[in-house]
Structure 1
Amino acid sequence: MSIKNNVLFQKLELRQFCTYRFIFGISYSFMIPIIPLFLDSIGITTVMIGTIMSLYGVSKTLAQILFGRVSDYIGDKKL
């Protein structure tokens, strides 16, 4: 399979989406260490900071399970 035949290089929307996800992931990685410091500076307790930070992971996991089932029910879309 040649790289020019790769669907990533043929579909502009897919390239844009992958670029968006890459930039979002990098920016989120930069923010993770700063969020607890900010929350501490406004007076939130350490336990609450831990709870707030863990809610992201828990909600993401639950959403992936839910939308995975929805995706399996709907089926694949041909590219």
Structure 2
Amino acid sequence: MTGRRLMDERLAPDFLQQMTRRYGVATLVQIAAVFVAIAAPRIGVAIVLLCDAFFLLPPPKPRYNPGEEPSEAEKTSDN
């Protein structure tokens, strides 16, 4: 499958779409904050700080395709 070089191919497509939306929207908000900062610097900085706080939240637990969940050995080796 093309376009998934950095992603585990076992991840469910809906999970990948959710993560793409999550980080795509956050990135767009940060870009928009640059333009807001030109007109209202304090508001622009506040938007960036809130967006950065969003990235500090733990990501959702990965969802895998049925029957393709990682083994316990794989789960423990990632930590």
TM-score class, shorter? 0.3 to 0.5
TM-score of the pair, normalised by structure 1: 0.39
TM-score of the pair, normalised by structure 2: 0.39
| Structure with max Cα Rg | 1
